[in-house]
Structure 1
Amino acid sequence: MIRKVLSMNRELLATSILATAGTFVIYIISPGFLLSSPLLLLGLIFSYIGSFYRYVTPVTFLLSLIPLFFIKSTYALIGIAIGILGILIPWVWELIILIGYIIFLLLPNLVTNIGIQPIIFSYAIYSTLAFANIRAITGKGYPAVVKIEGLTTCYAEVNGVFTTINRIVRGKKRVEIRLCPQYFNGTYYVPDTATITAKEGQVKVVKFSATNNLPIDKFPHCFSYFYAKGLPMNASWSIIINNVEYTSKDSNSPIIVPMPNVLEVMWNAKDIIIGNVIFRPLTYSGIAKRGEKIIIEYNSYVAQQQVALASQQQKNLPPLDKWDPNLWIGKELYGYRVVSVIGSGGSGYVLKAEKDNVFYAVKVFSLSQLSRAQLTISASSSFDEMFKESETLKQLSRNPKFVTILGFYIDSNNIKSALKGDVNTYYNYPPAIVMEFMEGGTAKDLLTTSIIYSTYWPLIVKEIIKEIAYALDFLHSKGFVHLDVKPENIFFSRNLGNNPEEIYKNISSSIKLGDLGSAVRIGERFYQATPSYSPPEQIEAIITGKGADPKMDIFALGMTAYVLLTGKNDNPISDNLNKAIDAYMAGNVGEALKLIQNAKQILSSWRPILPQNTPSELTRVIVYSININPLSRPSAKQIVDLLK
């Protein structure tokens, strides 16, 4: 009985009732008309049935219209013509005809004057009923119906309104339902579709079935998605919703909260403590709507009691310009125990550290005076900019061509204290980046082995440059410039082997570009350069405040290829660039710019001498890349194409 009511065609039912009234009038005036056409009465009966069962309506159409064609009368044809309009709004047109019929019966003089016979209205009543059934055949007038199977009740959005539905949903013209998995008695029930639409006259069915796994991708609108920003990559974090704690073991992985029965929830975040660093959310609570992505941003703070304790335990430490990174061996930095010092340079120190039996690389930035070997202006404002980009750089480092960055530990207050001479703060809380540990060492390490004398070496260098060009192409396409491409920053993820042929076979899949922390956005001011690998305009840009350009990386890549092939770091302009840095730091900007111009003149006439067995395509890459004119240098993509 429920289905009959829900499937009722009110429009056709109203037309049938009006046709019944018309039949009563016809019977009073001319009983012989109906007795001579019993099929018309049978059609009226079937029209009532068709109001509840759509598939009966073709029979009603035939019973209501065909008998009129067999009546050899012009009036019948006129009535049929009038009834055609009933296909638009049948019950309204049926009412108009019935009223007209009654008026003409009550005013016989009008019939005489106009010449219209009341019998025409009799034919029109049944032809309108016939065309009303034609309309009903297409589904017009019947409700849109959606039936739910597998559950007796569920929560859903019906035509944009969140409500509870019980087995059957109907709408006058259209029913659109957005469905979600439902949770009852410890079991999830999943619908066979996320969205279903039933139009006028349609009956659609949704089936729910029990499951142990939620297909999140199929129902994205049924969940809230929480993302952490500002946490180390491998940091565990959590949120609390309705007294239930949801946890992610990796800050790069979102917390996905199912919301099958509600449109919004209240969430709460909490502090994350890693070692002696507290990561505090900028917002501790809020409202999450279904399908919404919430980003919880964290700022790092060193616990004040830890700062006080560190001050009390202050060691006899050297000044920053004479800093010894071996002091960190055995110490825990940000939850990572330092095992050894891998290397050091003008920009900082690379430490090998361990946590949970896994090794990591920790790059600690130098805050010492500038050296001739490398320029790094580590002002606190520069670190602030780096921290702002930390999440983006972490995401970029997930590309397989880069060393993965796990976390940034940069506190501007500690940096300012260290720059003022507080070496104890630098010892305990240095600005650092934690990265995955590369077991295969660096390209610079290969220069100290006999592999460079092998016939495979030029081919190995070609593979290294090609893979780094791939990495730079990706980085540049994302709007960033690396600014410190050099052999020391080219890493190998695993041990390459013991002989040249084995190394050549293994190297392509192991190459990664490191030190992504030095990268800045294209056009942005920067303070990073290594004079032995940098083009003159890079040092000039630091002095004049010009922005970073991808062609700076291309020059550095060309110089890297030259150094790897020859084993010589005899860049003819590095001396001028180092002197320019010294002049700039001494406040003599004019002298610094003059030295840079001298470097440009020297570079314009330099023709590097390469080994005879250098592949011709690699020779072209080097020559094109170290061109004095940045516009004449190839793009990273063009280098990849040249070396394929």
Structure 2
Amino acid sequence: MARWFNTTGIQFHRPWKHHHEDSDGKQQKRRHHRRSLSEVISTNRRYVQQYRLLHEIGSGSTGVVHLAIDKKTNTQYAIKELSKSRLQRQQKNDFLRLTGSRPCFGLGVTSRQESLGSKEDDEQQNKRRRVAITPTVNEIKVLKLLDHPNIIQFVQAIDDPESDSIYLVMEKAEKGAVMDITAFNTTVKPYSQVQCHEYFSQLVNAIDYLHEQGFVHRDIKPDNLLLTRNNTIKVIDFGSAIHIDETYPLPSTTSAGTPAFMAPELLRRRDIKQKQLKPPPPTATDIWSMGITLYCLCYGQLPFEKPSLLELYDEIQNKNIDHPKNIDPNLTDLLNKMLTKNPFERITMEEIKAHPWMIDKKKNT
């Protein structure tokens, strides 16, 4: 599905590592391939209910993605296998990060009184909690509420009670990610402005719909935009998405998202003065990530690249983006407005749709 890469030990891309297939259909692993998580969380099972697992096509922080076929209909699907234990750890860490609480025993338990009693009692209670806990798969909750031609279609979820796995069955996008962009590598061949407009317009439609439903994606990037056989964009990976009303204002310095695509306001530490300020629009972070994505599609490289996270964060917050020569001034204007450091001054979705670059390119297609 989507991908990630490492440069000098720094992880810039978080979710799914992708393997390409050559013209003969043979799988080719990407460079810098780490140990597959299928070796960690998967059994050697070949079937999940009516789906036969063919081979792994991606891996990420909580599981792996399989190419699968429905033995009843012969239809191919992408099945995302998630690790319950890893999801539990992530959710506990996110809970502690937001509340500042320290855990006692079990997931989300923050009251010291609950840990009182004998050591044996505590161990028994903790064992019962582990058995009873079923992690909340945020991606399932979000995808069930969405229905849009540019958002990956969710088919079903399968919880295997006998293993550590939860399976998310989704439609397959045949062409894979729209662009393989990596830091400090040779510039990827960019798309033409006409093609960029076609793909970006579909992304705008998808994220505009998502925002109308009250969600922010929080991890928009080329790796999370898949292409179907007829070049339809499909936005994937809603594991970091949240409902705006649930955690507004959005927390800063969160683990969600990919560092190279994160907005400046998410990288700033909270202080007393910031707490007194009006919180920025929650959708502004997605606008920023969409701007970085458009930059990649048009220029074939990332606008911010540094060998360490601290340097990268500093560059994102302080450096202005560079543009190649002889570029459409309307495109540079749109990118500059989407990548405005101040979220209150950043262009909105409605303004993007009405921008001259969007309108002019639409007239010429």
TM-score normalized by the length of structure 2: 0.60
- Describe the shift of the 1:367–1:390 C-alpha distance in structure 2 as closer, same or farther (beyond 3 A): closer
Given that residues 469 and 637 in structure 1 are in contact (C-alpha distance below 8 angstroms), is that contact kept between their aligned partners in structure 2?
no
For residue 606 of structure 1, report the CA deviation from its aligned partner.
Answer: 1.6
- Determine if the alignment matches structure 1 residue 521 to structure 2 residue 243: yes
2:210 counterpart of 1:475:
yes
Residues 107-161 of structure 1: per-residue CA shift (max 9 Å, x gap): xxxxxxxxxxxxxxxxxxxxxxxxxxxxxxxxxxxxxxxxxxxxxxxxxxxxxxx
* Structure with more of its chain in helix, by fraction: 1
Q: Tell me how far apart the structure 1 counterparts of residues 287 and 48 of structure 2 sit (CA, whole Å).
A: 35
| Number of the residue aligned with 1:559 | 292
Tell me the SS of whatever aligns to 2:262.
coil
1:535 paired residue number:
263
Q: 1: distance between equivalents of 2:134 and 2:280?
A: 17
Deviation, structure 1 residue 541: 8.6
Distance 1:328 1:637, change over 3 A: farther
Shift of 1:557: 0.9
Question: Cα offset for 1:347?
Answer: 5.1
Structure 1 counterpart of 2:155: 406
Q: Conserved in 2, the CA contact under 8 Å of 1:366 and 1:378?
A: no
Q: Closer, same or farther in 2 for the Cα pair 1:393/1:641, shift >3 Å?
A: same
Q: Does residue 1:512 correspond to 2:245, yes or no?
A: no
- Contact 2:334–2:352 (CA under 8 A) maintained in structure 1: yes
Counterpart pick for 1:358 among 56, 60, 75: 75
Which protein is richer in strand relative to its size?
1
Equivalent residues of 2:189, 2:300 under 8 A apart: no
- Work out whether residues 377 and 527 of structure 1, in 8 Å CA contact, stay in contact via their aligned partners in 2: no
Q: Which residue of 1 aligns with 2:301?
A: 568
Instruction: Give the whole-Å Cα distance in 1 for the aligned partners of 2:234 and 2:35.
Output: 31
User: For residues 434 and 529 of structure 1, do their structure 2 counterparts lie closer, same or farther at Cα, with a shift above 3 Å needed?
Assistant: same
Q: Find out whether 1:394 has 2:144 as its counterpart.
A: yes
Tell me, what secondary structure is at the counterpart of 2:80?
strand
Counterparts of 2:315 and 2:266 in 1: how far apart (Å)?
A: 16
Q: Which runs of 5+ in 1 are unaligned?
A: 1-320, 371-375, 415-424, 497-506, 580-594
**1:436: Cα distance to partner?**
0.6
Q: CA 1:571 to 1:516, structure 2 compared with 1: closer, same or farther past 3 Å? A: same
Q: Is the aligned partner of 1:432 residue 2:181?
A: no
CA distance in 1 between counterparts of 2:221 and 2:45 reads: 30
Separation in 2, partners of 1:328, 1:460: 42
Query: Equivalent residue of 2:179, what SS?
Result: helix
**In structure 2, C-alpha distance between the alignment counterparts of 1:602 and 1:624, rounded to whole Å:** 17
Are 1:627 and 2:355 matched, yes or no? no
Report the CA distance between 1:612 and its aligned residue. Answer: 3.4
User: Which residue number corresponds to residue 493 of structure 1?
Assistant: 228
Residues 405-453 of structure 1: per-residue CA shift (max 9 Å, x gap)? 1123458xx7xxxxxxxxxx6xx44233221111121112499xx9964
On the 8 A contact 2:215/2:241 being kept in 1, the answer is yes
- Give the letter aligned to residue 233 of structure 2: I
TM-score by structure 1 length?
A: 0.36
Aligned-residue CA RMSD (Å): 4.1
Alpha carbons of structure 1 residues 344 and 390: separation in structure 2 relative to 1, 3 Å? closer
User: How much has 1:620 moved relative to structure 2?
Assistant: 2.3
**Counterpart amino acid of residue 258 in structure 2:** T
For structure 2, the 5+ residue unaligned runs are 1-33, 93-106, 109-132, 248-253, 360-365
Output the CA distance in 2 between the equivalents of 1:367 and 1:548. Answer: 33
Identity of counterpart residues, as a percentage? 26
Higher relative contact order (CA 8 A, sep 6+): 2
Q: CA deviation at 1:369?
A: 7.9
The equivalences for 1:294-373 within 5 A come to 324-325=37-38, 331-346=46-61, 348-356=63-71, 357-365=74-82
* 1:481 aligned partner, one-letter code: V
Separation in structure 1 between the aligned mates of residue 316 and residue 283 of structure 2, nearest angstrom: 19
User: What is the aligned partner in structure 1 of residue 320 from structure 2?
Assistant: 607
In structure 2, relative to structure 1, the CA distance for the partners of 1:377 and 1:616 (3 Å cut) is farther
Q: How far 1:529 moved relative to its partner?
A: 1.5
How far off is 1:472 after superposition?
0.7
- Amino acid aligned to 2:323: L
CA distance in 2, matches of 1:436, 1:531: 28
Q: Distance in 1 between matches of 2:64 and 2:281?
A: 24
Structure 2: which amino acid aligns with 1:563? C
Query: 1:35 aligns to what?
Result: none
What one-letter code is carried by the residue in structure 2 that aligns with 1:627? T
**Equivalences for residues 14-29 of structure 1 within 5 A:** none
